[in-house]
Amino acid sequence: MLVKIYTDGAARGNPDGPGGYGVILEYTDRKGELHTKEISQGYVKTTNNRMELMAVIAGLEALNRPCEVEVYSDSQYVVNAFNQHWIESWIKKNWKRGKNEPVKNTDLWKRLLAAKENHHVTFIWVKGHDGHPQNERCDILATTAADGNDRIVDEGLAI
**Rounded-to-integer distance, Cα 22 and Cα 146, Å:** 10
Strands of the sheet containing 68-73, edge to edge, are 34-46, 17-28, 2-11, 68-73, 120-125
CA distances from 105 to 6, 27, 44, 101, 145 (A): 21, 30, 17, 12, 21
Taking 60 as the threshold, does the pLDDT of residue 159 lie above it? no
Residue 33 assigned ligand-binding role: no
The answer to whether residue 129 is catalytic is yes
β 2-11/68-73 pair status? parallel
Concatenating the DSSP letter of every residue in 130-146 gives: SS-HHHHHHHHHHHHHH
**Rounded-to-integer distance, Cα 53 and Cα 76, Å:** 11
Q: Average pLDDT of 38-47?
A: 97
The answer to whether residue 9 is catalytic is yes
Percent of residues, the chain, with pLDDT higher than 70? 99
Q: Is the pTM of this model over 0.85?
A: yes
Per residue in 82-114, pLDDT tens?
A: 999 999 999 999 999 988 899 999 999 999 999
Tell me, what's the pLDDT at 158? Answer: 66
Pick the catalytic residue from 19, 20, 22, 139: 139
Is the C-alpha dihedral spanning 80, 49, 100, 94 positive or negative? Answer: negative
**Rounded-to-integer distance, Cα 11 and Cα 136, Å:** 16
Bridge partners (DSSP) of residue 34 are 28
Per residue in 113-147, pLDDT tens?
A: 999 999 999 999 999 889 999 999 999 999 999 99
What is the pLDDT of the chain when averaged over all its residues?
Answer: 95
Pick the catalytic residue from 35, 85, 120, 129: 129
Q: Average pLDDT of 37-56?
A: 97
Domain boundaries, the chain: 2-147
Bridge partners (DSSP) of residue 120 are 68
CA-derived radius of gyration, the chain: 15
Pick the catalytic residue from 19, 22, 52, 59: 52
- Local confidence band at 14 (pLDDT 50, 70, 90 cut-offs): confident
Tell me, what's the pLDDT at 143? Answer: 97
- Tell me the three state secondary structure of residue 112: helix
CATH superfamily, domain 2-147, is Ribonuclease H-like superfamily/Ribonuclease H (3.30.420.10)
The answer to whether residue 130 is catalytic is no
Total residue count of the chain as it appears in this document: 159
- Tell me the three state secondary structure of residue 66: coil
Taking 90 as the threshold, does the pLDDT of residue 30 lie above it? yes
- Local confidence band at 16 (pLDDT 50, 70, 90 cut-offs): confident
